[in-house]
Amino acid sequence: MGYSGVRGGMDAILAAERLVRRRRDDAPVEWAGTEQIARRFRLAVDRIMGEAGLYDEGIAADAFRQAEGDVLEAAHLVRAHRSTLPKLAVTEPVDPDRMVVLRRIVPAHRTPGGPQLLGRTTDYTGRLLERPRERPAPVPAEAGQPQPRTDEQRHPRRFYRLLAELDLVVQHPDPEDDPEPFDITRRAPRTPAPRSAILASMARAETGALVGLWYRSILGPDGDVHEITLGDTRHGRVGLSITHPHTGRPVEIGRIRVTEAEGIEDLDGADEDRTKFDVGYGLCFGHNERKAIAMANLDIAWRRTESGSALEQLLLLTTDGLDSGGFLEHLKLPHYVTFRSMVDRKTATRQAADAAERAPEPFGEECR
């Protein structure tokens, strides 16, 4: 069944769109340029890239401006744009150990291999609202200049390696049914799904939906929280390489920023090795530690459930912001035809019930 437009038809729809453009483009303030948005709203831009599945800061910034700050709508715009782009090549597998680290914390250990780099963050400061009344004074050029770093500082040793050397980590063999990454952009993942499909779905999931599902998964029946610890949590740049069509050698074509997290969970199940930990993994575009941490812990939770479980279905079918948001948004379209049919059914049911009450008994009152 199709839907007709609202009262006024196409003219009303076009007028509504022109109103959005006029209020957005003719505002009495300076136009926010693409580079300005990418720099000043970097975390929103990173979320858009991750939820859209396309790493391009400029496109994400333009979508953020067009969507008037609605991150989900901006991701929708970028994903629609992505569908028009040609697929030119497939990159080689990325080695996260070669990440040039911009931020690295290991909450599980005070002195892990390599440094703790706080990087660019407000995690350790009070949440006090700043209301600037004038342009802040420029920071001196010599203030805050990064010091040259050694290779160990740029590529610190992974904390997981230390746990593995101490024989404290459960070893999971590579699954035979998942030799190549599952491309969720070309095939819809369905249960039972390989781990690569689960991780890819989480990497492109809506951040808030994923965090909400993670929080529910760690709560026990009495509201107690399972023992969760973080290993390496990193934000940095990794190189992307493709195989040269003539030489057959890998050639780096660019770098992207990613966030990576390792979640450590204490095994306490009846059929689990209680002398070891399980480690989950999360990696997503840009600087988005909430998503990466939720991914790492949900990776463990998924692995501890049976194939086709309720958690697997939730991860595959409900965390995509465009799927769930699209269904919600469509409720704003005209539904008067379907609603009128529901009203007619209820009216007919009520009339039938009233008629049954008024109908005389077949043998009269004296036969009772």
pLDDT for 144 equals 53
Q: What are phi and psi of 149, to 5 degrees?
A: -115, 150
Task: Extract the tokens encoding 80.
Answer: 């629609």
185 in the same domain as 105? yes
201/57 same-domain check:
no
DSSP character string of 191-205: SS--HHHHHHHHHTS
Domain that holds residue 70: 9-82
pTM recorded for the entire structure: 0.84
On whether both 40 and 174 belong to a single domain, the answer is no
pLDDT for position 1: 36
Instruction: Specify the number of domains making up the chain.
Output: 2
Question: In sequence order, which ranges of the chain are alpha helices (DSSP H)?
Answer: 9-25, 34-40, 42-52, 57-66, 71-82, 151-154, 159-165, 195-203, 207-218, 289-303, 310-317, 321-330, 336-358
| Domain contains 180 | yes
The count of residues in the chain is 368
What pLDDT score was predicted for residue 169? 92
- Domain identity same for 163 and 310: yes
Interval 82-106: pLDDT, tens: 999 998 888 999 989 889 999 999 9
Pick left, alpha or beta for residue 144 (phi over 0 → left; psi -120 to 50 → alpha; otherwise beta): left
Distance of alpha carbon 67 from alpha carbon 76, whole angstroms: 9
Joined tokens for residue 68: 């008037």
Asked whether residue 59 is domain-assigned, the answer is yes
CA 200 to chain centre: 10
Give the pLDDT confidence of 166-190 residue by residue, as tens digits.
999 998 887 777 788 899 988 888 8
Which parts of the chain register pLDDT below 50?
Answer: 1-3
pLDDT of 114 reads 83
Confidence (pLDDT) at 305: 85
**Residue 242 domain flag:** yes
